[in-house]
Structure formats: structure tokens, C-alpha cells
């Protein structure tokens, strides 16, 4: 009868170790049932579960391995595994798998302690922990980017309560925590659609135009109530727009030139393009400013409101259908169909109540620095980092995106 043995190895990493050890096993026709390795600061932790055929006997294999590990100055532990233990473990691997992503300016032990406590309380076991962001400098500043990803397995009884627990401690510790199923679509998204105002750019353009028109306070108050979901978007949009009547057309260029992109926006778009993603702006703002960003970043699709101008003056009206929340959701589906992809492969990003319909349609909907109502209603939220943190939600390591950017050698209009 064959024997099952779990081997755990630790010590300083060195090239050729795996080849050398499995070469010894190969002489005895050993079967590999599971294998895993992690290296932290040049220190190796290596685990392998093997099946030794009856004719080989365990003792000679273990003896040869033990001698070699000793010669390599590696610590090793051998543990026999019963058939029953193996089958119980293997069956457990069929349970649902989820990804928990911890995003912070700097990863602290308390954050990991609280995240792991919640997963344990909800019956989830951590299979793997990986750092996706670059290793920090010892002189790191408060504007750093840090991400740790947990692969967990199990069947939580109440997913909504689990998400609520994560949301609570995220607010308590000023971090972001995303919880998503580890499905085939996670690293196979193909389209990312963005709101523009307060998402890709830090400002609300209509408020900027209102400042130029001398009605800033009136418009800003209406904008805030609309963003909070207190007012119907189309009605509030028409009311704000009417206050801009008579504004000189030359103001648009002046406002566009001073718009500041959100932290991480440029890096995110460049990375997405390097990785082959399609991108779109679906905005309740104005086409003039969306196209300004399109030219700067190389966005593929732009849908926004066409500001009507007559004799060099803003009329206080828009041409065509207003791009409100319902229209954004429709456009998301239309672009996905045109690109021949499923909506599960779409990421949507926005901050206001009128973005919730498109966030709910996307496979990954992200409320970015959103109002409380939006943050609580969306399945995922980023509040502490920049837009490029989205790359971590889809599982990319910083080294992968940096290499993609280097290989693509992208220019703003590529």
C-alpha cells in the first residue's frame, strides 16, 4: 500500500532547489499530490505532499531527502498523512473560493488580524496570502500604496453580513476591503467604464462652470443633493444647466485646462490599455470635457451630454438625450455587446447616486471615493487609495502592470 507524506521545508532560498529535491523523489517514482512555495526576503517556505508507491518503501526516500536537506542547510519536517485525512482535505478543496483584497496606504498587523478574524468567524479558511503591491521603502511616506490579497475557501452562511463586517472595519481602520468570488471572470475583464466628474477628474465640471458664471453656490448645493440621491438627476441637471445660460463659450477651454485628474487615473488607463482592455467614459457631464480626457488618455468610447452653444454663448440646454443613471446602464450593456463580451467582464467605476445603475450591471462595480449612500449600496468601494488600486481588485501585481507599461511604451494618444 502506498504511503502519503507531507514535507515542509524552510531556509535560505537558492537556485535549483526544487529540481534537485524532486529529482531525488523521481528516482523512487514518487507521485506529487500537492505542492506550494513562498519566498519572503530570500527565505523559502516550501511544502509538498507526496505519495510513495509500496514497492519503493518510505524509508529510503526519506533517508535520501533528509541527507540532502541537511547538506543544503535547510530545516525539514516529515508528517505522515492518512488516506482518510487526504480525502477529507481534497473534498474541502471543492468548496467555494473567494478573494479578499486589503488596500491601504501602509499594511499594519492590526489590519491583517481583523480581516483574518472576520474570515474565520464566517467559516472561511485562508489558503494563501500574497502581497500584490511593491515592497515598501523603510522611509515610506503616508501617500504610499499597499495591497495584500487573501485567497479564502469555505461557505459563509450570510454573505451580506460578511460584507457588512468588512465595511465596518474598513471605515474603522481607514482602509478598503474588497470581497469577491474567485471566478473565471476575475482576471478576464475586458472593458472598464468610468464616470467622469469626481471620478476620473477631481472636480464637478458643472460646478466649475457655475463659478465662472457667478452662480457657484446655487449650483453646488443642487449638485451635492443630486450626488447624495436626494434629487432626481435629470430634473436637477436641467435646473443647474439653466443657471449657466449666457456663459461665454471661451470659458470651456479655460475650465478644461485646469481640470486635475484623480490620483492614479492616468496610471490606471495606461495600464489597462497595455493589458488590452477597452475603456469608456459614461458621464452625466459634458462631451467637451469628456473628449478633452479622451484625447489625453486614449479612451475608446465617450458618452456625455452635448452642451448647446448658440452665437458663442451657452443656451442653458443640451442637445439629444440626457445621460442619466438609467442611460449609463444602457450604454454599458450596448458597449459590451458591441465588443462581444459579457457584462460579467465589465468593470464600472463611479461616485454618485446616478452611477448605481451601471455599477449594478457590471461584473465588478466600484464606488470610488463615493458618498455614503453609494458606498453602502455598491458591492465594492475604494476610498483610501487612487484609481489605480482597481488593478489589484482584478488580481494584477505591481510588477506585472509595470512590465506591461514598459513593453507597450504607451504615449497619450496610443
Which residues are the active-site residues?
195, 197
What residues contact residue 281 under an 8 Å CB cut-off, 6+ apart? 193, 194, 195, 196, 200, 290, 293, 294, 299, 301, 302, 303, 304
Residue 43 parent element (H or E): strand 43-52
Give the integer Cα–Cα distance in Å for 186 and 232: 34
- The Cβ-side half-sphere exposure at 187, using a 13 Å CA radius, reads 7
Nine cell digits for residue 121: 468567524
> C-alpha angle with apex 397: 392 to 402, nearest 5 degrees?
110
Q: Which candidate, 124, 180, 129, places its Cα nearest to that of 347?
A: 180
33 burial via Cβ count (<10 Å: 0-12, 13-18, 19+): middle
DSSP state of 261: B
Q: Which of 102, 194, 149, 199 is nearest to 396 (CA)?
A: 149
Q: What is the DSSP string of 389-410?
A: GHHHHTT--HHHHHHHHHHHT-
What one-character DSSP code corresponds to residue 144?
-
Q: What are residue 348's DSSP bridge partners? A: 193, 365
- Contact status, residue 227 vs residue 355, Cβ threshold 8 Å: no
Smallest Cα–Cα separation from 193: which of 390, 45, 401, 392?
Answer: 390
Which residue carries 517556505 as its cell? 45
Q: Rounded distance, CA 371 to CA 358, Å?
A: 16
Amino acid at each position: 500500500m502506498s504511503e502519503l507524506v507531507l514535507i515542509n521545508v524552510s531556509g535560505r532560498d537558492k537556485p535549483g532547489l526544487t529540481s534537485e529535491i524532486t529529482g531525488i523523489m523521481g528516482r523512487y517514482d514518487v507521485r506529487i499530490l500537492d505542492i506550494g512555495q513562498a519566498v519572503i526576503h530570500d527565505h523559502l517556505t516550501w511544502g509538498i505532499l507526496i505519495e510513495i508507491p509500496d514497492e519503493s518503501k518510505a524509508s529510503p526516500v526519506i533517508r535520501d531527502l533528509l541527507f540532502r536537506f541537511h547538506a543544503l542547510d535547510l530545516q525539514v519536517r516529515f508528517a505522515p498523512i492518512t488516506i482518510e485525512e487526504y480525502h477529507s482535505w481534497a473534498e474541502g478543496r471543492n468548496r467555494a473560493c473567494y478573494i479578499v483584497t486589503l488596500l491601504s496606504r501602509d499594511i499594519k498587523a492590526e489590519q491583517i488580524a481583523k480581516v483574518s478574524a472576520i474570515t474565520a468567524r464566517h467559516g472561511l479558511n485562508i489558503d494563501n496570502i500574497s502581497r500584490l503591491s511593491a515592497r515598501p521603502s523603510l522611509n515610506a511616506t503616508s501617500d504610499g500604496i499597499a495591497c495584500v490579497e487573501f485567497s479564502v475557501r469555505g461557505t459563509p452562511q450570510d454573505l451580506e453580513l460578511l460584507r457588512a463586517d468588512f465595511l465596518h472595519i474598513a471605515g474603522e481602520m481607514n482602509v478598503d476591503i474588497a470581497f469577491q468570488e474567485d471566478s473565471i471572470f476575475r482576471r478576464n475583464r475586458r472593458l472598464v467604464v468610468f464616470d467622469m466628474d469626481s471620478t476620473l477628474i477631481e472636480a464637478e465640471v458643472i460646478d466649475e462652470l457655475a463659478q465662472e458664471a457667478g452662480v457657484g453656490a446655487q449650483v453646488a448645493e443642487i449638485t451635492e443633493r443630486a450626488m447624495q440621491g436626494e434629487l432626481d438627476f435629470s430634473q436637477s441637471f436641467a435646473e443647474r444647466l439653466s443657471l449657466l445660460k449666457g456663459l461665454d463659450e471661451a470659458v470651456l477651454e479655460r475650465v478644461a485646462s485646469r481640470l486635475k485628474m484623480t490620483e492614479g487615473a492616468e496610471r490606471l488607463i495606461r495600464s489597462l490599455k497595455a493589458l488590452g482592455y477597452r475603456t469608456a467614459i459614461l458621464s452625466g457631464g459634458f462631451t467637451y470635457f469628456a473628449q478633452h480626457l479622451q484625447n489625453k488618455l486614449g479612451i475608446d468610447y465617450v458618452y456625455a451630454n452635448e452642451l448647446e452653444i448658440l452665437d458663442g454663448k451657452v443656451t442653458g440646454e443640451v442637445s439629444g438625450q440626457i445621460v442619466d443613471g438609467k442611460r449609463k446602464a444602457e450604454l454599458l450593456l450596448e458597449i459590451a455587446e458591441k465588443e462581444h463580451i459579457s457584462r460579467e467582464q465589465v468593470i464600472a467605476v463611479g461616485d454618485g447616486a446616478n452611477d448605481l445603475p451601471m455599477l449594478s450591471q457590471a461584473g465588478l462595480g466600484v464606488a470610488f471615493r463615493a458618498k455614503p449612500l453609494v458606498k453602502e449600496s455598491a458591492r465594492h468601494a475604494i476610498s483610501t487609495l487612487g484609481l489605480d488600486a482597481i488593478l489589484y481588485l482584478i488580481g494584477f501585481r505591481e510588477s506585472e502592470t509595470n512590465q506591461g507599461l514598459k513593453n507597450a511604451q504607451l504615449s497619450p494618444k496610443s
